[in-house]
Amino acid sequence: MPRSTVHYIVHRVNEEVVAIRHKVIFLPKTPEHLEEVSRGFAGLARHRAFIKAAGAIDGCHIRIKPPSGPDVHDSRVLRHSPLYAQSSYPPPGHFILADGGYPCLQRPLPLITPYKRQVQGVGAQRFNSHHSRARSIIERPFGMMKTRFWSIFLQALEVHYTFVPHVVTACTILHNICLSAGDVLAPEDEPEDDVEEDEGEADLEAVSGAQWRDQLCAEVSALEVVPPGHDYL
């Protein structure tokens, strides 16, 4: 089959799959759905202080052949994303959980990150433990997608770098469809990356998100834990 034909088929199929993304991938549409999501995160964290968590964020590196440039830090990807620029989610009073590779923010996108590794004090350590329980749910879908689409996520993609987001979006859509059909795979086992903390955002964090995190930390020390009541994918 001519390469031009393969190119046309791949792009055409990808376009059709990406066209249904809003039917398969969407944020909570109702207050009831948002409340269900928040209760889920509180259950994962096993603490009611996380009852306003409305999501978790992480990144995954895709290799391209030939390479298009150096790796980009998670926080830089975030700052150039519509999620950050439009500030349309989560609703006021809610926050998204992130690891130490992101800045702790209240505006324009509320992100709650763990305390830095050199933190001292039982309260902050307890907060980090509960935070990790809830945030780590985001790592499971990445692991399952690497198992399902290993040739895309674990090998170098031979496509133009501008087409990579479309490929990843299509994979995410197909993955969600598989989950809805009961096709659940064991995640790809990989050693956990040593997360590079975003020290470059220290000044912004001090005025934007650190106080909110301190309030949550105080709640962790004051409120009771939530017993686990659900199984989560």
pLDDT of residue 217: 93
pLDDT of residue 225: 60
pLDDT tens-digit readout, 33-82: 999 999 999 999 999 999 999 999 988 888 877 666 666 777 788 888 88
| CA atoms of 153 and 230, how far apart (whole Å) | 30
| CA atoms of 97 and 78, how far apart (whole Å) | 13
Average pLDDT over residues 3-22: 94
Q: Which pair of structure tokens corresponds to residue 11?
A: 């792009």
pLDDT of residue 198: 52
Please state whether beta strands 95-97 and 111-112 pair in parallel, antiparallel, or not at all (unpaired): parallel
**Model confidence at 32, in pLDDT bands (50, 70, 90)?**
very high
pLDDT of residue 170: 95
Q: How far is CA 155 from CA 64, 69, 199, in A?
A: 8, 17, 31
């199929």: which residue's tokens?
Answer: 13
| CA atoms of 217 and 233, how far apart (whole Å) | 27
207 has a pLDDT exceeding 60: no
pLDDT tens-digit readout, 126-185: 999 999 999 999 988 888 998 899 888 888 888 888 899 999 999 999 999 999 999 988
pLDDT of residue 60: 81
Q: What residue type is 71 in one-letter code?
A: D
Q: Name the helix (H) or strand (E) containing 203.
A: helix 202-208
pTM metric for this prediction: 0.82
Query: Is the bond preceding residue 228 a cis peptide, omega within 30 degrees?
Result: no
Contact indicator for 157, 65 with CB cutoff of 8 Å: yes
